[in-house]
Structure formats: structure tokens, C-alpha cells
Chain A
């Protein structure tokens, strides 16, 4: 019998005006939005690929270990088409150096700050606003409307228990709402895959599948809300108005208000203070470095006299004393710097954590509204939330440690000459022999003599450079950031559970209300 009621309701709703208008609106919106969003994704992907290639090319030019200062880039998430989250507002690159903290530019990367007046746009916006309204519109008259028409009396005069009717109505609502959700997802996927450059891997498919399920749970929650109001009120117009007010509060008031409240309740620590602390730590580090290197008077000898990779230079030749001093100074300084870089990293993390604390507070306040909960789930599943960025940062930090270890093992704890120069002991000896006459020649009045001496010296230096090829970095660790879907799912579970709970709660409320419902028409 449940099934019969569900079928009847389903067929009745399928032909209504509201269903047609809502579905058509969604289809139009998806057709307009998805190509724009996909193009935007492709543009970011291309930028990412260019950056990665440029970085690889630089790595192939590295001559000394000191110059290994690669950049790592965060790949854009293809699912950001579905839910943009805050992905576009976070930094996409990080500079890795073994003597500094990873500089993750985690500020808004927006080129044009005036553009911040426009809200983000994605498929989940359509889903959460249009579909939640549609769910309420489908649900508002399922009980009270039937009472007004007098058909509810007729049904209940049969031998069907009330809960069968309610379950039938619920199933019908779910079935009817599955239709537009499925259409939107299929359409969005088709449009997305029509771009030959866009590929979806298994994790993406899993993410999309979960988003689909999350959307269904969300919509069923909104439907249950409408069902509850419908079985609470005697007139369908009143249940509609109650539903709509709840909707405005959930869609408009709560998302803005929660952030507003959170920024008031827990204000951010001023960034200036943090910057001052950071500067102080760096200064402390620099002075300690200076103190340590003071023991080696010749360490500043090796000037960078050739262009190396990543926009830095390296030493081709220098004399023996500075070769010895520098190798000891670098090794000593590295231990100081690595301590400080860790404490700066902790400072930076504490800043992120204070941001995160505010965000969590806002998120927790917003959990009053199922719309916000749903939005949250979607951005987690699309890997465009702050949690994903945080895991990127952790990966960057781990990568930096890996590189430091690599260089340490290759250069005998930063003390071998190959760390900062291609010069060998023999070259240094020869340098001392050559540099004397070269400097002497500058005292001569004759310009030709001077040029000749410079030419000779350069030729000799170029000879050394020609003997060396870039470092073979075949066993160099490569950065791989694969945001695992498993972790995202784990993060999304609490919110998904909350949505399910809202469903159960609202359904039981409507159950109680319907059991006590007075079916007499006026």
C-alpha cells in the first residue's frame, strides 16, 4: 500500500507546474555555469602544468647542491567545478629551501582585490539554493493540501495505518526530487567530460558519487522539513509560509550571520604582531649565524660568480682558504638555521590555527542550517576546503625535510665542496697561481694588457665550467601531492551524519505531528 501511495504522489507531482519550472531552471543554470567553470579550471590547470615544467627545467640546470630551491605547486581540483569552496583564494605555490621554512603563500591570491565583492559561483550554489526551495515547494501541501481537498479524510477512512501514508509520501518526495538532482549531475558531468582536456580519475568519480549521495540526503532533509510543517499546520498556505521563512533563514541569514558572529566572538590575533615576532626570530637567527661564521674569517670569500638555477648564483672558483672555511661555516650554519626555520614554521602554523579556529567557530554556528552543513560537505568532498590546503602544507613541510635530508646525505652534512661550488682543491691551487698575475695586470696602464689578462682568466674559468655538467638528480625526491579521497571522506563523515540525523529528527517530528493530525476539513 505504501508503494501505491508513493506511486500516485510521484506521478501527480511529476506533472505539476512547480516541478517543471524548478527543473528547467536548474538545467538552464547548469548549462550556463558548467562550461564557464570548466574553462576556468582548465586555465588554472594549464598554469599549473607550465609552472611544474618550468620547475623541472630549472632542476636540470642545478650545478651545486646549495642551489636546489625548487617550487612546488598545488594542482587545482577538478571537482572545484562542483564546489569551489575556498580553493581559489588560497596560495597555489610554495618555495622549498633547505635553509628556510617552506614559504606557503597562504593569503588570498586574488590579482584584483576589487573582485572580492562577487561571491563564488559553482554547481553546489544551484543545488543548495534552487533545490532546497524546490524540495519545500514539493512538500508544503502533501498533508495539509490533501486535508483541504478532503482527500486525506477519504484515504484514512480505509484501513491504512497513518505511518504507511507518511512513509509513502516521504518515498514519493524522495523519488520526485531524485529526478532533477540526477539530471543536474548527469548534465554537469556530460558538459565537463565534453572538454577533452578534463580527465576524471577513480578518486574523482568516488567524490562525485558521494556528492550525489550527499545532495540526496540534503534534499531529503529539506523535504522532511516541508513535510513537518505540512503535517503541523491545517492550511497549506501557512505551511508554505513557515517553510519559506525557515528557508530564508537557512539560506540567507545563517550563512552570513554565523561568520559575522564568529569574527566578533573570537577576533583574530593581529597579523602585525605575528609579523613582528617572525622578524625578531629571523633577526635572532641571522645574528647567531653571523656569530658562528665569525670563526671562519675567509668564509665570505666564495662569491657567486656564475648564474645557477632558480635565479641564484654559485661559486666557480675561489682560493683554498676560503674553500675550507666556507665548507665548515656552511655546515655549522645549517644546524642553526634548521632550528630557527622550524620555530618560524611553528609560528606560521599557529597563525593558520588561529584562522582555523575562527573558521571552525563560524562553521559550528552555521550548523544550525542544513544548507551550510551541505555546503561544507560538498567543499570537503571536492577537496577545495581548508582541510585539503592544510594537508598540502603538511606535505610541503615533509617534502622540505626530505630535500634537506637528501642534500645532507649527498654533501656529507653540508660540508662537502659540492654544496656551494664546482671548484676542487686542484682548481683552488691553480686559482691562486692565476689570480696573482690577473690582479697585477690591472695596475698596468696599457688597456690592451688589462683586456688580455681578463680574457685569459675568463678562458681558464670557462674551462672549469665546461668540465662540469649539472648535478644528476635522478634520485632526487619528487613532490607528489595526491589528495586522498579517503581522508576527505573521513572529514566529511561528521557532517554527513549530521544531515542524516536531521532527516531522522524531522521525519520523526512529522510522524508525531501526523499521528495527532486532525483530518477533518472545515
Chain B
């Protein structure tokens, strides 16, 4: 019997105007977004490789002496991701670039020609279309599912038969979900065909899997809206009122609550300004200079001659390394504070399933704010590796004093031989390559959001179930 209802629902929907309108709108959006994505991806890849190759060629020019390699400032950039097709995660306005040598790493910066006079906007991509347009279609398909039938008088007739109510409810739900799947799947296929035929890059097995997970997340998200639509339809007296309530709910959940993130962030936490950061750095440095004697006698002097008897290079190295560490700590702390502030707002917006869904898909696709954190972490790990590499190479040189520290004078202005001056082989130097997270790790990041989505589903299912059981069909 349940199949009968589902079939009837689907056929009824397929022939309706609202379905046709949504189908046309959604497929054209998917197609347009993919065409634009292809163009953008090409541009980004070209940009990325240009900058990366420049960085590598600059690196190879600095291999004459190990000393130069240690002080060489590398510049690395976010790698463009194919899965930005699914979700973009506001990355274009996020910092995507970092400069470092083996001692210090700066704060990530925004390196892109962003037009700041334009309002922030989300790229039209899969998650955008699904979270904003398809969720709306879900409401449009379900708003009259119960109360519409009551108005038409057919609900009474249906329930006069010996069919349990929960079957009617499930039938309605499955009918709406399957109808929603049609534009969704057609859109996805169109989008994938465009991307694959444009030959920008192959889609790896892992990426297919991740795409599948995003699709499953999308279905979970849409199912929640279908349940909510059915629930409100059970509570409302007439379908017009139901649409009003659903529309206002949609506005609140999809548009208003996500907009509150900034306010929440500013209310609950704040980031020190750049001026405050610089002041803190300056004060820490001054304090350490004032107490420089704790690192050894004459640690804080400025003698330049390594053979001067008053010169105490090991103490100086200790002082400078302590300085570098302290400054790095402050910068890292600042970065963490920025992240924490943004995440506070993000967590607040998770009152809305839209934000939860977006966050989960970002985690799976490996984009967005989580990716920024990961990129910064990888850059730091690479920095450590490079430092270890230099340390081990340096250890091989008997002429070196094996003192690796960040002072301008040790860069070669004076012949201190704190770091070896032997040439380095380019192929042995570790190079930075941004790694994508594995599926297991991505899922681990998204697990709470997935649980939340399931929970939303259960709550709305229970609500609609109870409401429908007690529904007065007269």
C-alpha cells in the first residue's frame, strides 16, 4: 500500500507546475555553476603553478650554501581543489598564502585580487544550490501534503480504508524525497559531465567517494526539510497558512540565523588588533633583551668579530632561539584567537541546519576554515622538517659551529660559520606539497555535524509522526 501512495505522490508531483519550475531552475543553476567553476579552476591552477614554480626556482637558486637555504623565505599558496565544485566554503576571502623561513612563520595572508567593494558572496556551487534553492523546493513540495489533502477531502477517504496512518505519512515522505531526488541527481550528473568533459583534471577514487558522501549529506539535509514541511502541514489548518509559516521558517533558518554569526562572534570573543599584536611582540622582545644575561654571559652584546674573546656565540644563539620561540608562540596564539572567534560565530549559527550542512560538506570536501587551519599546520610541519634537514646536513660539516639561530648577522655578513656553508643537493631538500585529508579523517571532522543532521531528522520525524497521529481529518 505504501508504494501506491508513493507512486501516486510522485506522479502527481511530476506533472505539477512547481516541479517543472524547480527542475528548470535547478538544472540551469547546476549547469551554469559548473561552467563557471571550470573557468575559475583553470585560472586558479595556472596561478598556483606559476607561484609554486617560482618559489621552487628561487629555492634552487639558494642552495649554494646551507646557510642561505636556512634563511631563504619560501612563499606557499593554497592548492586549488576540485571539490570546490561541491562547496567553496568562503575560501576566496580567507587567507590562502603564507611566508616562512626555518625560524619564523608569519600569519597567513590573503593573496588574491579580491574586489573588496563587492559584498561578500557565496559562489554558486552544489551546496549553495542545495542548501538555498532545493531546501525551498522541499517546502514547496510538502506544504500542502497533509492539509491540502484535507482541504480537498481526499485525506478522509484515504484514512477510511484500513491503512495505518504511519504508512500514509511515510508514503508522503518518500514521495516528496524521491521527487526531490530527480532535480538533484539530474543536476549533479549534468554538473559532473560538464566538469569531466572539460578535461581540467581527473577525478580520483577518493574524490568520487567524497562526492558520494556530500550527496548523502545533501539527502539527509533535504529529508530534514521534508519532515519539517510535513510537520507544519500537519499542524496548519489550511495550506495557505502552512506556506506562510514554512516560508518564514525558511527565511529564519536559511538566511537570518546564518547572518547572526558575526554578531555572535563579536559578542562572545574578540581578536586583538594588529597594533596590539605588534605591541605585544615588541614588549616581549624588549623584556627578553633586558634579561639577556640569563642565557649566558654577554648573550645580548653586539660584538661582530667571532674571535673576540668577549664574544659568546652559544649564549647568543640561546637568546635568539628563545626570542624566536617566544615570537612564534605569540603569533600562533593570535592566529588561534582569530580562528576561535570565527568558530564561535560558526557554532552559534549551527542552530540552523543549513549551517550544519555547510560545515559538514566543507569538512568532507576539505575546504573552508578547517582547510585553512590544516594548511597552516602542514606548513609548520614542513618548516620543522626543513629545520631538521638543515640540522642533519649541518651536523655533517666539521667546520660549522652548529649554531642555528635567527640573527641577521649570522646570515653571512660576518664569517661566523654558525651554519655550514657547503652546497646542498636540490633533490634532497624536502619540498612542500599540500596533502588532502583522507576520507576517514574528513568524516571524523564532520561526525558531529552528521549526528546533528540525523538528530534534526529524528526530531522533525517524531514531531510530524505525533502530529499526524493526532490529526483531525474532518
Contact = CB atoms under 8 A, between A and B. Distances in A.
A2 B95 CA distance: 60
Interface string B300-342: 0000000000000000000000000000000000000011011
A355 B117 contact: yes
Given A115-B341, A257-B124, A386 B117 contact: yes
A14 to B, nearest CB: 15
Given A21-B245, A117-B261, A118-B262, A268 B255 contact: no
A255 B124 CA distance: 11
Nearest to B262: A118
State the majority secondary structure of interface residues on A: helix
A255 B116 contact: no
Nearest to A133: B247
A29 B255 CA distance: 13
Nearest to B25: A245
B119 interface: yes
Interface stretch (A105-113, A151-159, A200-208, A452-460): A105-113
A121 B263 contact: yes
Interface stretch (A50-58, A172-180, A235-243, A299-307): A235-243
B120 A17 contact: no
Nearest to B90: A117
Give the one of A36, A108, A114, A236 with max B CB within 10 A: A114
Nearest to A358: B115
A86 interface: yes
A476 to B, nearest CB: 27
Contacts, number: 175
B196 interface: no
Nearest to B123: A260
A269 B39 CA distance: 17
A125 interface: yes
Interface string A243-260: 011001101110111011
B14 interface: no
Given A111-B273, A115-B345, A121-B263, A252 B133 contact: yes
B351 interface: no
A241 B115 contact: no
Residues of A in contact with B, size category? 35 or more
A86 B119 contact: yes
Given A117-B93, A133-B248, A362 B118 contact: yes
B372 interface: yes
Contacts of A263: 115, 118
Contacts of A111: 271, 273-274
Interface string A58-79: 0000000000000000000000
Contacts of A7: none
B118 A121 contact: no
Contacts of A362: 118
Contact of B40 (A119, A130, A264): A264
Contact of B115 (A40, A112, A261, A355): A355
A120 interface: yes
Interface in A121-142: 121, 125-126, 129-130, 133, 137, 141
B369 interface: yes
B132 A252 contact: yes
B447 interface: no
B244 interface: yes
A117 B121 CA distance: 9
B256 interface: yes
A377 to B, nearest CB: 15
A386 to B, nearest CB: 5
Nearest to A86: B117
B118 A359 contact: yes
Contacts of B110: 113
B116 A90 contact: yes
Nearest to B261: A118
B37 to A, nearest CB: 10
Interface in B19-42: 21-22, 25, 29, 32, 36, 39-40
Give the one of A106, A129, A248 with max B CB within 10 A: A248
B145 to A, nearest CB: 13
A89 B116 contact: yes
A146 B262 CA distance: 45
A112 B341 contact: yes
Nearest to A120: B119
B260 interface: yes
A115 B342 contact: yes
Contacts of A89: 116-117
A18 interface: yes
A468 to B, nearest CB: 32
B400 to A, nearest CB: 38
B251 A129 contact: yes
Interface string B90-130: 10011100000000000000100111111111111000100
8 contacts: A114-B342, A137-B247, A240-B240, A241-B140, A252-B133, A259-B118, A260-B123, A264-B40
Given A114-B95, A237-B239, 15 more contacts: A21-B245, A29-B256, A111-B271, A113-B95, A114-B338, A115-B262, A118-B258, A118-B345, A120-B259, A121-B262, A238-B17, A244-B243, A249-B25, A256-B121, A356-B117
* 5 pairs of A and B residues whose beta carbons are closest in the complex: A114-B342, A118-B262, A118-B261, A116-B93, A117-B90
